């Protein structure tokens, strides 16, 4: 076969090149058509040569969605920035053995440094915190009460009819600033974490700002240096571990959980030292007392009234109801005008 010259073109080679170009174009067209049928067809499709295959309106829609998403994130960040918890879910400590043990611990620390007396948590306030939240007005408090009662069946499902017993042993601190009695590790911790997670989910689904950024670590606080900030000026900047070393392995006792309270951090405490309680749910097998029966009765009455109010609101929002109200108001005004006219005429007639 003769080799073509420098400026010549072989007809067979030209035909092959032309055929390859046609096949390449057909393959590219088929590929693009296949991509357009895929679930991600609304995403920008771009080949190595920078070919776009997305309608302009989809690009604009994506930009708009991105803008809305950024605004929502900004709003959530602002809400979190303003987030100051003022309510919490509390498991009260009612076992006298535990409270006596903590009082002995507190007195032992005070004997070593009397200035720490005011840093101690009062006996009636001993509790475990399940969840913190922000409730800014009465409406939000009522919403929180509803969430608490919606939590009850979830707790019952987690416990499966069994008691939740919490054993306490040993002492530790958070950064030498907060002293607490430790909860012994065990299956009860897993159940408690499940209840805390269910509580967080239930309250957040009601639109309530709840929870903390740090992970949940159940503990029983007995002292806080933040209660007496002036101690720092006197050189007391931490809780000395030597103050509680004798209690490192001390067994304080067991608390059988029977109640979860919705409490205020700021409202005046009760006469027994416990926090102001908005509502409670009873859990476990403990016999129901008079207070529990009253709470249940109040809850049912409140739910009944709430249901009635909702029905009335729905009825008032109906167009036919609003039309009827307007019609009756107009008729009432006409009747009053007529009555006033009759009175005037009657008085005139008498004179």
- Does residue 3 surpass a pLDDT of 90? no
Angstrom distances, CA of residue 73 to CA of 82, 207, 210 = 14, 16, 17
Confidence of residue 194 (pLDDT cuts 50, 70, 90): very high
Burial (0-12, 13-18, 19+ Cβ within 10 Å), 109: buried
List the beta bridge partners of residue 172.
180
Confidence of residue 107 (pLDDT cuts 50, 70, 90): very high
Question: Cα(67)–Cα(71) distance, rounded to whole angstroms?
Answer: 6
Question: Cα(324)–Cα(157) distance, rounded to whole angstroms?
Answer: 48
* Residue 184 pLDDT: 96
pLDDT in tens, 11-21: 454 445 455 45
Confidence of residue 199 (pLDDT cuts 50, 70, 90): very high
* Residue 59 pLDDT: 63
| Stretch 300-328: mean pLDDT | 79
Burial (0-12, 13-18, 19+ Cβ within 10 Å), 112: exposed
* Residue 94 pLDDT: 94
| Stretch 129-137: mean pLDDT | 95
- Does residue 114 surpass a pLDDT of 50? yes
* Residue 60 pLDDT: 62
The three-state DSSP-derived secondary structure of 154-168 is: HHHHHHCCCCEEEEE
* Residue 93 pLDDT: 96
Least confident of 110-124, 160-174, 227-241, 333-347: 333-347
Question: Cα(148)–Cα(278) distance, rounded to whole angstroms?
Answer: 10
The three-state DSSP-derived secondary structure of 169-202 is: EEEEEECCCEEEEEECCCHHHHHHHHHHHHHHHH
Least confident of 25-34, 190-199, 256-265: 25-34
Tokens, residue 42: 């609304």
- Does residue 109 surpass a pLDDT of 50? yes
What mean pLDDT is reported for the chain?
Answer: 79
Confidence of residue 214 (pLDDT cuts 50, 70, 90): confident
Burial (0-12, 13-18, 19+ Cβ within 10 Å), 116: buried
* Residue 317 pLDDT: 87
Stronger pLDDT, 143 or 69, i.e. the higher one: 143
Burial (0-12, 13-18, 19+ Cβ within 10 Å), 94: middle
| Stretch 147-166: mean pLDDT | 94
pLDDT in tens, 66-102: 666 566 555 555 555 678 999 999 999 999 999 999 9
Burial (0-12, 13-18, 19+ Cβ within 10 Å), 276: middle
| Stretch 331-350: mean pLDDT | 57
pLDDT in tens, 252-309: 999 999 999 999 999 999 999 999 999 999 987 655 566 666 666 676 676 667 667 8
Angstrom distances, CA of residue 307 to CA of 126, 137, 200, 313 = 36, 21, 25, 10
pLDDT in tens, 39-69: 333 333 333 333 344 455 556 656 666 666 5
């Amino acid at each position: 076969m003769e080799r073509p010259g420098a400026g010549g073109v072989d007809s067979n080679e030209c035909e092959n090149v032309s055929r390859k170009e046609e096949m390449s174009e057909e393959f590219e067209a088929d590929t693009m058509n296949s991509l357009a049928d895929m679930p991600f067809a609304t995403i920008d499709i771009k080949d190595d040569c920078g070919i776009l295959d997305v309608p302009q309106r989809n690009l604009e829609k994506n930009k708009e969605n991105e803008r809305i998403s950024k605004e929502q994130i900004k709003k959530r960040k602002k809400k979190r920035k303003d987030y100051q918890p003022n309510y919490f879910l509390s498991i009260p400590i009612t076992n006298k053995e535990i409270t006596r043990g903590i009082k002995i611990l507190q007195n032992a620390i005070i004997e070593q440094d009397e200035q720490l007396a005011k840093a101690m948590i009062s006996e009636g306030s001993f509790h475990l915190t399940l969840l913190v939240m922000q409730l800014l007005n009465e409406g939000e408090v009522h919403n929180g009460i509803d969430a608490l009662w919606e939590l009850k069946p979830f707790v019952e499902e987690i416990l499966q009819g069994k008691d939740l017993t919490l054993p306490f042993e040993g002492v530790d601190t958070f950064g030498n600033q907060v002293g607490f009695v430790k909860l012994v590790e065990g299956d009860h911790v897993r159940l408690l974490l499940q209840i805390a997670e269910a509580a967080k989910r239930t309250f957040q689904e009601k639109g309530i700002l709840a929870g903390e950024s740090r992970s949940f670590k159940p503990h029983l606080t007995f002292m806080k240096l933040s209660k007496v900030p002036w101690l720092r000026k006197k050189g007391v900047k931490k809780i000395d571990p030597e103050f509680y070393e004798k209690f490192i392995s001390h067994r304080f006792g067991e608390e059988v959980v029977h109640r979860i309270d919705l409490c205020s951090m700021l409202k005046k405490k009760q006469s027994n030292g416990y926090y102001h309680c908005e509502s409670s749910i009873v859990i476990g097998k403990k016999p129901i007392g008079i207070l529990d029966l009253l709470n249940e009765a109040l809850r049912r009455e409140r739910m009944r009234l709430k249901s009635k109010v909702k029905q009335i609101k729905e009825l008032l929002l109906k167009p036919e109801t609003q039309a009827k109200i307007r019609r009756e108001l107009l008729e009432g005004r006409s009747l009053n005008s007529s009555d006033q006219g009759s009175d005037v005429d009657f008085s005139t007639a008498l004179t």
